[in-house]
Structure 1
Amino acid sequence: MARDGGRRGDPPPEPPPLSVEVIDSHCHLDIMGGDVAVAVAAAQAVGVRRLVTVGVDLPTSRWQAQVAAGHPDVYAAVAIHPNEAASGVDEETFTEIAELAAAPKVRAVGETGLDYYRTPAERHTAQQDSFRRHIVIAKQTDRTLMIHDREAHEDTLRILAEEGAPERVVFHAFSGDEAMAKVCADAGYVMSFAGNVTFNNAQRLRDAAAVAPRDLLLVETDAPFLTPVPWRGRPNGPYLIPLTLRVLAAARGEDVDALASAIAATSERMFGPW
């Protein structure tokens, strides 16, 4: 979850639809508000067939799991966000996250990880402890690990190596540079790019996307945050995925349909068949 992008103004108009259907690998339907069915229908109208909605604490994780159970084109991810974990997480919370993660429509443990941008150094240890526990839960439940990594690349990679990464790892809203992308690629970690890859000042992200292997790429909105240009600052939604995907394809010098097909296949590999 990135707090940039805001919820100011009216929703942007829908972009031209994609020819090949993809998945929004990370959004927050609860924070978006409104009717879930309407958000799903709007996404599907432009070629975004399915969504993964993501929890950031215990109440929102419960909500995501419940919503996913009631909507055939929605999956859930459950976890305690690192900013929430900075004050410590009790054992009962970890137990319930593990129980939620085992539900059939919950396909990822996340978003978990490290966020040093908002957290003072004295609370980094609490974030790291929570991250380690979520890694264990992902492995125990055979779920994809969905990582939030903000200004904490070195420690994030170190802890993954120390704990032993799960079989499937996704770096949500990838924020590294070209060198980081190559490290993730060598480890087999999937990199999911959000609307900030379209920002004018985000050439570093586009360079990272350009070197990432095609089969290790996902696309997401992080809705309602990180709205892609030209609508930065207005509320984001899964239906805006085509804007980000087209920028990714341009950064890589690839055909949009070919990239969409690869991303759809990776999405299914990460979150399972529908």
Structure 2
Amino acid sequence: MSAGWIDAHAHPERVSLDEELALLVDAGVVGFVAIGTDPASSQEAARIADQLATERLDLSVGATIGIHPHDAEAHGGAIADLAALVVEYPGIVVGVGECGLDYHYDYSPRPVQRRVFAEQVALAHRLGLALVVHTREAWADTEAILDDAPSPPAVIIHSFSEGPDEAERALARGWYLSFSGIVTFKNAQPVREALRLAPIERLLVETDTPFLAPVPLRGRPNHIANVAVTGRFVASEKGVDADRLAAITAATTRRLFGLREVEPSP
């Protein structure tokens, strides 16, 4: 089992990739999943992962394709175009999402969000790829849509921000919980309660770079390397050794997304 952290959810097209890569080795980070949120970012995520798969044999990398709920109205008709990226980048596109529901901002009408989310759940099932889910103030509808659809191989609740009740319901359905810097925030006690009850084999750690920098870096642009900061916090909350948590969460991320096993640079 390769040692080191894997960031299960990053948006590298929004930051300086060279800067991100320069920070990884010292932080003990050995891979990341580049996340798409619309056609352009999905294409760019796949391009970045494809480039690194050749140039950086010390990294486990992959990309996802998706339509974020904020963009459901603008890009909901592009799901077939997203699916074409699986053919264009075989073995590089490893998941569908970030997709789901966001009733906090409602940047797209809720019926449109629900339709576009359901179509992406179906796409993940058809392609046999992991599904990366964004849900904010929409847990009941998120749960209902996933319960009503054929199940993808894995469902990952991105940047889990609910409490223990929702965590129990997700875990009972076989879903995975991915924790971002939110878990370190002072007002995130329900998220920490959810974390404590979740088995470590059902956890992932992520940055959501460039968003959600963990304490004590909150308020600054986030970096993929900071997955180690969040990971160590998660390990402390779970009462396990950080190296052990890194190894287990990295192995889970590789398995769910089909990422290659590599050894970090000396």
Deviation, structure 1 residue 269? 1.2
Which residue of structure 2 aligns with residue 3 of structure 1? Answer: none
Distance 1:130 1:116 in 2: 14
Distance 1:128 1:44 in 2: 40
Deviations 1:132-173 (A, max 9, x none): 110111111111100011111111011001012211111110
Which residue of structure 1 aligns with residue 189 of structure 2? Answer: 203
Distance 2:75 2:3 in 1: 43
Are positions 1:244 and 2:230 aligned together?
A: yes
Show structure 1 runs of 5+ residues with no match: 1-18
TM-score, length-normalised on structure 1? 0.87
Of 199, 202, 213, the residue aligned with 1:227 is 213
Of 230, 247, 265, the residue aligned with 1:261 is 247
Deviations 1:222-272 (A, max 9, x none): 000000011100010011111111111121122212222210111111111
Pairwise mapping of residues 1-274 of structure 1 onto structure 2 (< 5 A)?
Answer: 20-32=3-15, 34=16, 36-72=17-53, 73=59, 74-87=61-74, 89-90=76-77, 93-102=78-87, 103=89, 104-119=91-106, 123-274=109-260
Distance 1:204 1:254 in 2: 20
Deviation, structure 1 residue 87? 4.8
Query: Is the CA contact 2:161–2:182 (under 8 Å) kept in the aligned structure 1?
Result: no
- Identical columns (%): 37
Deviation, structure 1 residue 60? 0.9
Amino acid at match of 1:108: G
Amino acid at match of 2:85: L
Show structure 2 runs of 5+ residues with no match: 54-58, 261-266
**Which aligned segments of 4 or more residues in structure 1 are displaced greater than 2 angstroms?**
none
Amino acid at match of 2:83: A
TM-score, length-normalised on structure 2? 0.90
